[in-house]
Amino acid sequence: MYDVLVIGAGVIGTAIARRLSRYQLKIAIVEKENDVSMGASKANSAIVHGGYAEANEKLKGRVCYQGRRQYAQYEEELHFGFRETGSLVITMNEEDLPALEAIKANGEKNGLPDLEILNHDQILSIEPNINPDVKYALYCKGAGVCSPYEMAIALAENAVKNGAELFLNSEVLGIEKLDEGFRVKTSGLDFTTRYIVNAAGLYSDKIDQMVNEPTFTIYPRSGEYILFGRGTGEVLNTVVFSMPTKMGKGILVTSTYHDNLLMGPDAINENTEDVTKGTNVERLYDIYKQGLSSYANVDPTKFIRSFCGLRSVSSTDDFVIGPTATKGFINVAGIQSPGLTSAPGIADLVTEILEEEGLALVPDETYDPYREAIIERKEELLPADYIHRHLDLPYDNPDKVICRCEQVMAGTVKDSLERGIKVTTVDGVKRRTRAGMGYCQGAFCRNRVRKMIDLTYGSAIDPLSDQQEGGYDRVTRQEFLEYLQEREGEDFDLTAYANAAAVAMAEDKVRAAAAKKETDRAIGR
């Protein structure tokens, strides 16, 4: 019998499992997909939010900052990719100042010590390339960006290293309450456990209702994004938000952890819980146009990918975290934004709840919080002649180039496959190594990655294990550019526009770098 069974291997479930692995406990993580981080954890804004946006009266308002303040330590221990950048909520309207001041006051109520209202000149000294019509901004020094799927992978690897057991391809089909604990039937094995932590994301209401009367419902809310090529994100130093609405924090423009420019998300309430398999060109065009109001010099030809994520919105409009009418069954549901930021705080809170429910927490002296990085953020790429010389090396040579665009070598891929979690998909390797995340989106490296998986495990994998080939109907670069041309009109010269934007972006990178150096010096970052 397990002491704790965690349902769901997204960033919340893996954070909880890793937190519990500090103790002498037998822990299982069950996940219906073929890898960790397959839901909202792999398709979101990747922002480590300040903690000012959610009302203090709500649990998500109180726990966000508690999660944010742990990110530096998490990064030091797990090496998944986090950097503090600061964030700006900007407005071009004088009349929005009272609303910004109200957001600041709410953040201070949530415990934030690093909020400031900036005027026009102060904003441009930090972020010289945003809309020059900007009037005011709420600046949060400690906000940042991370790699969310790498974070979930790192948490899962470390939990497994410390004794937790991960069971993939194990959809929960039923839960039976026993005199002592539960019997959990899955599409893989059946389990008995003393406690259950329900961190099943979009399906958490269904899991809850296997043992409890309905008390909340999960409604999917989709958000689409545009991702641009490596280096495009260097034009911005901070996460730039527009003024929030009741549907969310508005369209943001930011650099990712790995220096791609990211625009999105929009917010559409859906009537299905199925993970979307496509994006919509009209929605992406609207996101692009709204994003231009924050940063205008975007080269649309640098578009490399569109994607869509589903947020788990609870009918309570808050996180649903706590014990239930069924003793030993803990809900961790409705974890929409700022769920990623809150994950460390949620893990702490759930641990406290389990202890209050009777789980004995005896520290494990062998617990090791550290996990080595698979990859590091590349400041500069290797020269083209080096890549060319290493393309045709044998697969057992760690210096063989597997991915040209992201410069991923065979040794890195092999490392990603030998960390205690069997990776059986091309996409799984992509999330761990970035092989396939460059301009060609896997056209060059897809078969090389398959070969590496086959050689490492001694068996062939599903040839459709890359979503690019598995029926996902994403808007492509060409489709987006054609639609852009159509919407802008026949007088719109895409080539001239893109060329001018490319020149402007190059100049903006220089300006942004100079401003960042000065800002970092001034605030001691």
Q: What distance in Å separates the CA atoms of residue 233 and residue 516, rounded to the nearest whole number? A: 13
Helix (H) or strand (E) holding 164: none
Q: What is the full DSSP assignment across 427-440?
A: HHHHHHH-TT-STT
The token duo for 518 is 């000065």
Give me the phi and psi of 508, to 5 degrees please: -65, -35
Q: What is the full DSSP assignment across 85-100?
A: --EEEEES-GGGHHHH
- Between strands 320-323 and 329-333, the pairing is antiparallel
C-alpha distances in angstroms, 100 versus 115, 129, 266? 11, 21, 21
For 86, residues 6+ apart whose C-beta sits below 8 A from its C-beta are 126, 139, 140, 141, 142, 143, 144, 237, 238, 239, 519
- What amino acid positions are annotated as catalytic residues? 49
Show the CA angle centred on residue 146, arms to residues 143 and 152, nearest 5°.
130
SS3 string, 189-223, reads CEEEEEEEEECCHHHHHHHHCCCCCCCCCEEEEEE
CB 223, CB 266: distance < 8 Å: yes
Cis peptide before 220 (omega within 30 of 0): no
